[in-house]
Amino acid sequence: MIVAFLAGVVFALIARWVGITRFDRIIGFGLLLDFTVAKILLVAIGTSALAFFVEYQLGAAVLEVKPLLIGGVVAGGALFGVGMALLGYCPGTMPMALGEGSLDAGVGLAGGLTAGLLYTLVYPWVAPWIGPDLGAVNLYVQDPVACALIVAVFAAVLFAAAFWLDRRRPPAPEPAAGVESAMK
């Protein structure tokens, strides 16, 4: 638990340092102009995959795979995207922005918690429509060597993608019409 807490503190400090708690960074990523958010997430997911694998092999973590429900994933993804576009925060950066004093993040956090409560209350009625249930999809296998290979390749692909994105620089914004002549 202490290691997870410290890892979260390190991630929050890095997130703050690179500025992914700012609205312009999140929207820039959504518009495919700024890949800072993607780079941070790729490295974080790759690192987490490796750390979870070690914990799982040591018996310190339990793997409980939930069923894949396509309708739920599509509806949840659409709501997630709308929320990110409206607020300019993702669920991870929202509490960080709130800690920095962004009141709009507080409104978003309250809205997300309210939506979660409402979903819990209406779940019995919407459950039939969030299928089909494709069962538990899991890449973890019983053979620890094969599992280690899968996790290592997965993490390496994510790290490589992050470094590839790092070589891409966002294009310089074009000046608005008439700005160049006004600057002369």
- Whether the bond between 124 and the residue before it is cis, its omega within 30 degrees of 0, is no
Query: Other C-beta atoms within 10 Å of 14: how many?
Result: 13
d(CA 22, CA 97): 7
Provide φ and ψ at 164, rounded to 5°. -65, -45
d(CA 84, CA 93): 10
pTM surpassing 0.85? no
pLDDT of residue 10: 85
Residues with Cβ < 8 Å from 63, sequence gap 6 or more?
56, 138, 140
pLDDT in tens, 56-92: 888 888 888 888 988 888 988 898 888 888 888 888 7
Taking CA 50 as the corner, what is the angle to CA 48 and CA 51, rounded to the nearest 5 degrees? 65
Query: Other C-beta atoms within 10 Å of 35: how many?
Result: 20
Q: Cα 8 to chain center, whole Å?
A: 14
d(CA 81, CA 59): 36
Residues with Cβ < 8 Å from 75, sequence gap 6 or more?
130
pLDDT of residue 45: 92
pLDDT of residue 15: 83
Question: In the chain, which residues have pLDDT < 50?
Answer: 179-184
What's at 147, amino acid-wise?
C
